[in-house]
Amino acid sequence: MENDDGGQGTTEPAPNEGGKTGGSDRKELLLKMYDQMFNDINTHIIVVWQSIGVVVGAFAVLALVERNIVSVDIGISLILLLCGWLLANLLDSSYWYNRNLAIIANIERQFLLTSDLREIHYYFGAHRPGNKMITHLRIQRALGVGIGILVLLFHFKTRVFSGIGAPWSNFEFQRLWPYLTVIAVLYYVVRLSRQRDRSYAEFIQRSPGKLIDTSGIEYGEGHGFAPTSSHPETDKRS
């Protein structure tokens, strides 16, 4: 366009208060978000201390039981509560991991090309399905479930099985505490799991990201899909 001197010139984007163009600001913001999302992921998957805490807590409670400071019924209930606490934290960590990974993929789609699916990595082309828990967290979940099952079997053998057939006058209500605790823990964990799944599905639906053509790309177990799965996002939008 013509400038004030009557010559021909080009119009530059008007800088903002920071002295940078809007496109530059957007790029800088996205890169900062990218780094922060990875930091959040590290925070939520480095939770090995939680599993160690459950193991240490279980031994501590058993020591209190051995010294008759607390009854075996209350002690086992406390261990089951610790296991439930671990499972709840793993579910929440899994949601934050998957959500942040989806945000990272959406940011990568702003910069990477379709060819980068093969030249760099193909994960940014599709979001993980169904809020599936990664192996690192599933291993810790197995530990929590295993400890819970073992202490519950121990309690059943020592406090319930031996009393089967005994007169009702020998019944002690506190023997039910571990089983009532299991019911409460399972109710809370299942409810939390469904709520986190709904939250993830809501995020993917409302922020699907830029459409990437993943024709010829097969997503498998490494990204949470069933083996040799096609890209469902492309199938739905094509």
Residue-range domain boundaries for the chain: 32-163+171-237
Q: Rounded mean pLDDT of 205-225?
A: 87
Per-residue pLDDT of 113-150, as tens digits, reads 888 889 888 888 899 888 999 888 999 999 999 999 99
| Radius of gyration for the alpha carbons in the chain, expressed in angstroms and rounded | 27
Per-residue pLDDT of 59-100, as tens digits, reads 888 888 888 888 889 999 999 999 999 999 999 989 988 998
Cβ-contact 214, 122 below 8 angstroms:
yes
Residue of 226 and 201 predicted with greater confidence:
201
Q: Where would I find the H helices in 124-230?
A: 135-155, 177-206
Cβ-contact 174, 72 below 8 angstroms:
no
Nearest by Cα to 215 from 94, 125, 100, 151? 125
- pLDDT band for 233, please (50, 70, 90 cuts): low
User: Mean pLDDT, the chain, as a whole number?
Assistant: 80
Helix (H, G, I), strand (E, B) or coil at 8: strand
pLDDT over threshold 50, residue 6: no
Say what percent of the chain tops pLDDT 90: 32
pTM of the model: 0.76
Q: How many CB atoms lie within 10 A of CB 159?
A: 19
